Amino acid sequence: MSEGKKSGRGKRRMRSGRMRQLAGGGVMLALALCSALPAQAFVLGGTRVILSEGNVSTLAVVGGEKDGVLLVRARVGRDVALKEHAPELLVSPPVFRLEKGGRNQLRLSMVNAAGLPHDRESVRYLSVSGIPSSNPLSPDRGKTQAGMVIGQGAVIKVFWRPAGLAAPTDKVWGAMTATRVPGGIELANPTPYYMSFSILMADGKPMTPAKDAPSMLAPFSHQMYGTSSVQKKEIEWTALNDLGAPVKGKTQVR
């Protein structure tokens, strides 16, 4: 066997091992968090899902260690409020029973990407909610009551990435530009990736998006942020990468 073939196989094994390590780390984190959750709660194995074209992504759902059983429902929408269903993205299973301390895997796949742009990322929203089971010892068991039993829930972003886009590096967020405008600072994203920020500060003062504006910068877009800073010289930001980990940096305002 040639050295080139050996090297190629070795690299594939290393990438495969790395992916297993990341996935295992997310599950272990989820299991650790469960010990601190109240009864009838669950935790997801990640804060976001990256779905590359042609692939299937999985997300762990782990039940808390307290007493109780959950009926878990998973669905995908085109907006964070899930007012519009996203039939192009399939989540399976859509409904399942989650035992105390139990685990399940959600599988996400794109079934129809015809209407999505292939030169940039697209975002959808995954809602996972749990309805707690009733107490079998309750004196009201079996009686019909008005209202609805509300359980815990979470909504996270699903980023669909076309085949032509590689995973972003930390340099992506450094490509953002900032310009002084009346009433604030305009941020521009010249990249094909969504930019999600957990912190945006202008000269040490918080920045806030305009009313009804999204909390992230879409690909090839710009957005105005308000700030109480008078100087408007420098922006300090903390972005979130594919794993939801923070990436910190600074951008000079023009």
Per-residue pLDDT in tens (0 to 9) along the chain, 254 residues: 544 544 444 444 444 444 444 444 444 444 444 333 444 478 899 999 999 999 999 999 998 877 578 899 999 999 989 999 999 999 999 999 999 889 999 999 999 999 999 999 999 999 999 887 655 444 434 333 333 333 468 899 999 999 999 999 988 999 999 999 998 999 999 999 999 999 999 999 999 887 666 778 999 999 999 999 888 999 999 999 999 999 999 999 99
pTM: 0.77
Cα(196)–Cα(241) distance, integer angstroms: 8
pLDDT at 215: 74
Let me know: does 133 contact 100? Beta carbons within 8 Å.
no
Strands 42-44 and 103-110: unpaired
pLDDT at 38: 42
Please write down the HEC assignment for all residues of the chain: CCHHHHHHHHHHHHHHHHHHHHHHHHHHHHHHHHCCCCCCCEEECCCEEEEECCCEEEEEEEECCCCCCEEEEEEEECCCCCCCECCCEEEECCEEEECCCCEEEEEEEECCCCCCCCCCCEEEEEEEEEEECCCCCCCCCCCCCCCCCCCCEEEEEEEEECCCCCCCCCHHHHCCEEEEECCEEEEEECCCCCEEEEEEEECCEEEEECCCCCCEECCCEEEEEEECCCCCCEEEEEEECCCCCEEEEEEEEC
pLDDT at 86: 96
Tokens of 240: 């979130």
Residue 14: CB atoms within 10 A of its CB come to: 10
Ramachandran category for residue 44: left, alpha or beta (phi over 0 → left; psi -120 to 50 → alpha): beta
CATH topology of domain 171-252: Immunoglobulin-like (2.60.40)
Give the type of residue at 178: A
Q: In the block, which residue shows the tokens 């709660």?
A: 41
Task: Indicate the domain borders of the chain.
Answer: 18-135+150-161, 171-252
Do the two domains 18-135+150-161 and 171-252 of this chain adopt the same fold? yes
pLDDT at 134: 58
For 18-135+150-161, which CATH superfamily applies? Immunoglobulins (2.60.40.10)
